[in-house]
Structure 1
Amino acid sequence: MIKKSLAAFILLVSIFSCKKEASKTSQEKIEKDTISIVETKEDLFKPIDTTCSSKNKTEDYIETLQWYKQKTEKEIAQNSPEQNDKLYEAYSKIREKYIVCLSETLGKVLEEYVNYYDSESNSYKFPENIRKLSAELKKGSLEFREVGEGYTEIWSVPDHYFSVFKNRVTPDYNTYIEQLSKESESLYSADAGLVISWKELGERTIFWENFIKKYPKSPLISGVKVMYNSYLYDYLFGMDNTPTHEHSDGTLYDENRQEFNRIIKKYPNSNVAKKSKELMSLFDAKVPEEEIHKIINIERE
């Protein structure tokens, strides 16, 4: 009797174990099938071409930008910092291409954007469709940016690239991307005039001078030198509507002279300080402006 009861118990345990195993196997199959379906959907997605087409809608570009961001983040996790440097270059270029196409698609909106500015409240008042469009752009890490003279453009949000590549690239690229994210937080110039302060411009110029000294062999160096020279030129001579001096008699404005003296005192061994000293001496000596430009010799592109 005991033997029969034991045999029955063993049989029940065996049946229960088989059912449990079958249930586990079935669940695992469902989970694998679900994952397979998700992966298939991702693999089947085809980003729209970078050649602009009137057939593409705003949603198409945003979906493609999101897809590229996810794809890039997956690659970043597997790459070396050097590989991610190249990935950053490729990623930023393809985003720029899509932004150009998106700007064409939203051309009418960009033209009319400035009309939503209300001078009485000193703020923008957007209709519902523009608010929805702004929210849609945000999904692709994009925003409307008013750039002066009645023009509005579509820009990547300031911290987009740094949020994607932070500490996953080589030190020179990391420094470069981080600084660009900071600089793009505000407009640099508008209506042929400087928007940021002279002090901020001076600090930016010093930053890029130091970058050139620290990373002389960086693949970024040629582009950085162009940017540095542009900043240095603006710092010394100003822009059409924000000059550093009176064109009629070559007199330096007091605020610029004070700023030059500040930079000389703070960064005495810098090229910016050297050029500032030279510029002040030339203007004080009443050297013709055309000759000063030749002597200072800064190429601005």
Structure 2
Amino acid sequence: MYKLSLLICVVAFVACTSNPKETNTQTDSTTVTTSSTDSAAVTNPKLSEYVQYLANLNDSTAESATKAAQKFQEIFKGSSPALCDSAFVFFNTFYEKLGTRLDEVHASDTTNYDSLIVDPTAKPVPLSAKLTAYNQKLTQNGFQVAMTEGTTYIKQDRELIAKWFYAMVSPTMKSYLTQLNKENKEGFAEDAGINIPITSLADRVIWWEKFNQTNPNFVFAERSKDLYQNYLFYLLKGMDNTASYYQDEAGKVAPDQEFMNAYTYVLSKHPNTETAKLVKPFQAALAQHDVKKAESLLKQYQDQKIIQ
């Protein structure tokens, strides 16, 4: 089963496919309309050439990611950042499709890939020639073997995007991609539990709130909004194995101190944010051991489509 990495993708709740909002951008004297990744929507000749190239690429081999990136540079060298942003939408769709396909093949393979998972506390395990070649092919082309709950899978290594795209896209797109790369490296959740500090989760919530406010018409606005809403949900609720509140032995509801500290952090460092306005009454409810109030607030936020 395909495990969504943190892209760009956040474990369990970040959708790795989207229909980017329609944008009409004047680039190189040609209007580019990006309402989907359907080639029928493309009117710019450079963009059309790139879309056709991607359509003919093998979507079952890791090398295709690098080929697609190299072709991007070849076609769009000297083009405006706005046109490069539009072209990146198509690369991104191909890259995600390729990752899904590679993971499907990986999951059906009976080879034991556990030795590719590096444990910094353990002695290095010698790799067979087959495993070495397999690993090199992935790591050289924007992918890597990862593990969750004892099962290996293929995830993105977004340094490929940093290498080939950061210098060509707009500052807004670069900021977005840099943040996704950072989150992908840090991880987020494992075995129904959050595996980053809750204050780090709070930082992500604040980052996405500010990004969305500054860039409401961004081509990946729906994705960035989803990231904010989902991260905010987990900041408030937590997960099964990392909950924001629990029942003690006497049956009394008690807030988790790490979450409470994170709420205080938000309120003290970012008091004027929308996130702070939402966190404040929730923290107060937990401090009063009022789980009904806390859950009522969660439902209210969900009904208002503030969280998912």
Structures share a fold, TM > 0.5?
yes
Structure 1 gap segments, 5+ residues each = 1-45, 53-60
- Residue 17 (structure 2) aligns with: none
Q: Counterpart in 1 of 2:136?
A: 135
Cα deviation, residue 212, structure 1: 1.1
**Structure 2 counterparts to residues 10-49 of structure 1, below 5 A:** 48-49=57-58
TM-score of the two chains, using structure 1 as the length reference? 0.73
RMSD over aligned Cα, in angstroms? Answer: 2.8
State the TM-score, normalizing by the size of structure 2: 0.71
> How far off is 1:231 after superposition?
0.5
Please tell me whether the aligned partners of residues 117 and 124 of structure 1 are also in contact (alpha carbons under 8 angstroms). Answer: no
Decide which structure has greater helix share.
1
Q: Which residue of structure 1 aligns with residue 78 of structure 2?
A: 78
Partner residue in 1 for 2:285: 282
Q: What count of residue pairs does the alignment treat as equivalent? A: 247
Whether 2:202 is the aligned partner of 1:197: answer: no
CA–CA distance in 1 between the matches of 2:184 and 2:272? 28
- Say whether 1:295 aligns with 2:295: no
Instruction: State the partner residue of 1:209.
Output: 209
Higher relative contact order at CA 8 Å, sep ≥6: structure 1 or structure 2?
2
- Partner of 1:112, secondary structure, is coil
Letter in 2 for 1:155: K
- Following superposition of structure 1 onto structure 2, how do residues 84-123 of structure 1 map, counting pairs within 5 Å? 84-109=84-109, 112-114=112-114, 122=122
Change in Cα spacing, 1:237 to 1:80, as seen in structure 2 (3 Å) is same
Residues 176 and 117 from structure 1, CA distance in 2 versus in 1: closer, same or farther, beyond 3 angstroms? closer
Q: Secondary structure at the match of 2:216?
A: coil
Q: Which has the larger radius of gyration?
A: 1
Structure 2: segments with no counterpart, 5+ residues: 1-54
Q: Residue deviations 1:145-166, cap 9 Å, x none? A: 22x2122221221322122221
Q: Rate the CA distance shift 1:159–1:116 in 2: closer, same or farther, 3 A.
A: closer
Give the aligned partner of residue 6 of structure 1.
none
Q: Partner residue of 2:267?
A: 264
Change (3 A) 1:116 1:139: closer
Separation in structure 1 between the aligned mates of residue 274 and residue 196 of structure 2, nearest angstrom: 21
1:132-281 correspondence runs (5 A):
132-146=133-147, 148-247=148-247, 249-281=252-284
Kindly indicate whether the alpha-carbon contact (under 8 Å) linking 2:145 and 2:155 is maintained by their aligned counterparts in 1: yes
Deviation at 1:97, TM superposition (A): 1.6
- Greater shift in the superposed pair: 62-71 or 256-265: 62-71
1:135 & 1:171 partners in 2: Cα distance?
A: 31
> Structure 1: how far apart are the matches of 2:159 and 2:116?
26
Cα distance, 1:78 vs structure 2:
3.4
